[in-house]
Amino acid sequence: MKRLFKDFEVAICKTTDLNQALTLASAYGNLLWFADVGIHDAPLVETDLIERYLTMGGTSFAATSKERGGVLHIVSEPFMTGGHTRLMEKLASMHAEPVDLLISRQAAPDAKAQVCRFFANTRVVSATCPMDALTEMVCLLLSYEKAVLHIHPDDILVVVACGVAKRISGIEVFFVNHADHVFSYGSSVADYYFELSGHGCRVDLTKQIQGRKSFLGIPINVPCGDIAVDFKPEKRAPLLFISAGSDIKYKPRKGFSIFKLVARILDEYPTSTFMVIGSDVKKAFWWWPLKLRYRSRLSIRAHLDFRKYNELVTKADFYVDSHPLPGGTAFAEQFVKGQRCIGLTSPVQGYSPADRLKRTDINAVMDSIANYRRDEEVLFAIQKVNAYESVQDRYLKCLYDGQVCANPLDSHGDWPGDTAFFEQENGSLKVDIALDTFLLLSRLQRNLACRLFAALSVGKKIKLLAKMMLARKFR
Q: Tens digit of pLDDT for each residue in 321-338?
A: 999 999 888 899 999 999
What is the SS3 assignment for 101? strand
Average pLDDT over residues 102-116: 94
195/281 same-domain check: no
Q: Are 247 and 280 in contact (CB under 8 A)?
A: yes
Q: What is the pTM of this model?
A: 0.91
**Tens of pLDDT along 118-132?**
999 999 999 999 999
**Same domain? 193 vs 55:** yes
184-193, 258-267, 278-287, 408-417: segment of lowest average pLDDT: 408-417
Looking at this protein, which amino acid is placed at residue 51?
E
Q: What is the mean pLDDT of residues 428-446?
A: 91
Percent of the chain with pLDDT over 90: 78
d(CA 300, CA 288): 10
Q: Which residue has the higher pLDDT, 24 or 409?
A: 24
Quick one: which of 178, 211, 197 has its CA closest to 87?
178
pLDDT for the residue numbered 60: 66
Q: Are residues 276 and 360 in the same domain?
A: yes
Widest Cα–Cα separation across the chain:
78
d(CA 422, CA 417): 12
> Is 352 inside a domain boundary?
yes
pLDDT-based confidence at residue 65 (cuts at 50, 70, 90): very low
The yes-or-no verdict on residue 400 having pLDDT over 90 is yes
The verdict on 195 and 280 lying in the same domain is no
Range of the domain at 63: 36-219+388-401
What distances in angstroms separate CA 177 from CA 15, 184, 209, 244, one per listed residue?
29, 8, 12, 24
Phi, psi dihedrals of residue 136, rounded to the nearest 5° = -60, -40
Does residue 177 share a domain with residue 129? yes
pLDDT at 308: 87
Task: Please tell me the predicted confidence (pLDDT) of residue 68.
Answer: 76
**What does the pLDDT average to over 98-109?**
95
Helix (H) or strand (E) holding 363: helix 362-370
Q: What is the mean pLDDT of residues 453-460?
A: 93
Residue 255 lies in a domain: yes
- The residue with greater pLDDT, 448 or 413, is 448
CB-CB contact of 72 with 147 (8 Å) = yes
Q: State yes or no: pLDDT of 416 exceeds 80.
A: no
pLDDT of amino acid 63? 44
d(CA 389, CA 306): 25
Kindly state whether residues 289 and 392 are assigned to the same domain. Answer: no
Give the per-residue pLDDT at 215.
96
Closest by CA position to 199, among listed 185, 186, 218? 218
Task: Say whether pLDDT at 307 is over 90.
Answer: no
User: For residue 440, is it within any domain?
Assistant: no
* Position 342 pLDDT exceeds 50: yes
From the list 324, 360, 362, 358, the residue with the least C-alpha distance to 343 is 358
Residue 357 lies in a domain: yes
How confident is the model over 57-66, as a mean pLDDT? Answer: 58
Considering the chain, what is the average pLDDT of its residues?
Answer: 92
Distance CA 80, CA 86 (A): 9
Claim to verify: residue 215 and residue 316 sit in the same structural domain: no
User: Are residues 213 and 247 located together in one domain of the fold?
Assistant: no
Angle between helices 43-55 and 2-14 (to 10 degrees): 10
E strands along 130-171, which residues? 146-150
Count CB-CB contacts under 10 A for residue 230. 9
286 and 354 fall within a common domain: yes
Q: What is the pLDDT of residue 403?
A: 97
Sign (positive/negative) of CA torsion 371, 374, 378, 382?
A: positive
Identify whether residues 251 and 205 lie together within a single domain. no
Least confident window among 31-40, 42-51, 102-111, 303-312:
303-312
CATH code, 315: 3.40.50.2000
Structural domains of the chain, count: 2
Provide the percentage of residues in the chain whose pLDDT is more than 70. Answer: 96
Domain presence at residue 472: no
| Short-list 37, 83, 15, CA closest to 26 | 15
- Summarised one tens digit per residue, pLDDT across range 203-236 is 999 999 999 999 999 999 888 766 788 899 999 9
* 438 in a structural domain: no
pLDDT in tens, 122-179: 999 999 999 999 999 999 999 999 999 999 999 999 999 999 999 999 999 999 999 8
Amino acid at 166: K
Judge if 247 and 177 occupy the same domain: no
290: pLDDT strictly greater than 60: yes
**Residue 303: pLDDT over 90:** no
With respect to residue 279, please indicate whether it lies within any of the assigned structural domains: yes
What's the pLDDT at 66?
59
Is 104 part of a structural domain of the chain?
yes
For the purposes of burial, counting CB atoms within 10 Å of the CB of 175, is it exposed (0-12), middle (13-18) or buried (19 or more)? buried
Rounded Cα gap, residues 294 and 84, in angstroms:
35
Kindly state whether residues 203 and 254 are assigned to the same domain.
Answer: no
Question: How far is it, in rounded angstroms, from Cα 76 to Cα 329?
Answer: 23
pLDDT of residue 232: 95
